[in-house]
Amino acid sequence: MQRLLHFLFPETSSKKSRKKDALITLLLLFLATVLSSFYFNISQNSANVALLYILALILIARITDGYFWGIFASMTGVVCVNFLFTYPYWALNFTLAGYPVTFIVMLAISFMTSAATTHMKQQMQMLSEREQLLIEAEKEKVRANLLRAISHDLRTPLTSIIGSSTSYLENGEYFNEEQKEELVRQIYEDANWLLNMVENLLSVTRIQGGEANVSKSCESVEEVVSEAVIRLKKRLPDAQITVRVPEDLLMIPMDAILIEQVLINLLENAILHSKSPLPISFYVEESEHFVIFHVRDYGIGISPERIRTIFDGTAYTGNISADSSRGMGIGLSICKTIISAHKGTICATPCTQGTDFHFSLPK
């Protein structure tokens, strides 16, 4: 008996959901009976009446949970066709010539339709649950990568600040003014780097996980680009950047603050890690469906091994001469998270000289 109940009603169904399923079943059977009566009064043909009940059965099996309501609807449909639309009317008569075969066939079709529809719905539910598990696993992976990136990228400036401040406090009397100024300058730069990392982390907390929804509004691309460059110049006054945007006014949906943070991260990485005196090229292109932002440097480039995982937030263990003081992992990982939340793509392309970081946002 327990197995039969589990077969007819899913374990997750509550009394409230069963009442709802019962009301839906009775309502659809009532509508099928009304439509069948209307059709039968017009045509006096009961052959197609069964099809209306089968249609109601399919809807019942699709909307309700478990097999019970589909089976109940199939039995009720067979009885209604016999009782209401088969001579003698308003009486059950299963002895009519040919009717037992019709009864059995209709009941079999009803059972198979109900079972197939319910099974399909259960398969869809299983696929949905599996997809949800994959999303949760991806979230955990992003979280783990982010924690690794934080530990890697924040350890160096913190160690530098502690070392410089300890040297200043313990041996300051032996340093000349130039040496003291250099220690303070190092502390200032590392503290600014930590502030930038905190801004990145605050930005990513505005995004709700892997399936993130950001608050987007139509923003001017030119204004966002200008604001990003101005904010970067306050942090790196000596930065050389050539900017090019389309002459036409471009308005696209975005979270301006988050996109500015992405642009600042890419520009700062290009300036600090390219090891080139040449200016950074920052330009915007327009395609039919996307707007593409490019940050191109003309420096030492990035190795193919590193470029494959550069947006994963993982610490790089290879040649770190280009980014020994400050890593790129956490900033680029957050850039990818923000762009993905905007339904865009981001990648890095090695060039003959330097690297081109670019991301696209849909119009």
Q: Are 159 and 32 within one domain? A: no
Same domain, 330 and 189: yes
Do 199 and 300 belong together in one domain?
Answer: yes
Other CB atoms closer than 10 Å to residue 58's CB: what's the count? 18
Whether residues 153 and 67 share a domain: the answer is: no
Residue 112 lies in a domain: no
pTM of the full structure: 0.53
Give the closest residue to 256 by CA, choosing from 212, 322, 203: 203
> Which of the four pLDDT bands, split at 50, 70 and 90, describes residue 344?
very high
Share of the chain above pLDDT 70, in %: 76
CATH of residue 341: 3.30.565.10
Same structural domain, 73 and 205: no
Residue where a domain stops, chosen among 96, 113, 130? 96
Which of 64, 96, 128 delimits the end of a domain? 96
Is 107 part of a structural domain of the chain? no
Of residues 7 and 197, more confidently modeled? 197
**Which pLDDT score is estimated for 324?**
43
Mean pLDDT, rounded, for 149-176: 80
The predicted structure's pLDDT at residue 356:
94
Q: How many CB atoms lie within 10 A of CB 90?
A: 6
Q: What is the pLDDT of residue 320?
A: 42
Give the number of domains in the chain: 2
CB atoms < 10 A from the CB of 321, how many?
8
pLDDT at residue number 89? 77
Task: Tell me, yes or no, whether 213 and 302 share the same domain.
Answer: yes
Q: Are residues 195 and 261 in the same domain?
A: yes
Give, as one character, the DSSP assignment of residue 321: G
Residue 180 shares a structural domain with residue 87: no
DSSP assignment of 92-113, as one string? ----STTHHHHHHHHHHHHHHH
Question: Is 281 within the bounds of a domain?
Answer: yes
Which pLDDT value is given to residue 210?
45
Q: Are residues 157 and 44 in the same domain?
A: no
Give residue 86's domain range: 2-96
**Can you give the pLDDT at residue 322?**
38
Q: How far apart are CA 180 and CA 185, in angstroms?
A: 9
The answer to whether residue 137 is domain-embedded is no
Question: Is 354 domain-assigned?
Answer: yes
For the cut 90, the answer to whether the pLDDT of residue 329 exceeds it is: no
Higher pLDDT, 33 or 304: 33
pLDDT tens for residues 50-109? 788 888 887 887 787 767 777 788 778 878 877 887 777 777 766 665 566 666 666 676
* Angle (CA) 79 82 87, round 5°: 160
- Compare 248 and 212 and report the one with higher pLDDT: 248
What are 273-327's pLDDT values in tens digits?
888 889 999 999 998 899 999 999 998 888 888 888 788 765 444 444 434 445 4
Under the banding of pLDDT at 50, 70 and 90, the label for residue 14 is low
* Residue 147 located in a structural domain: yes
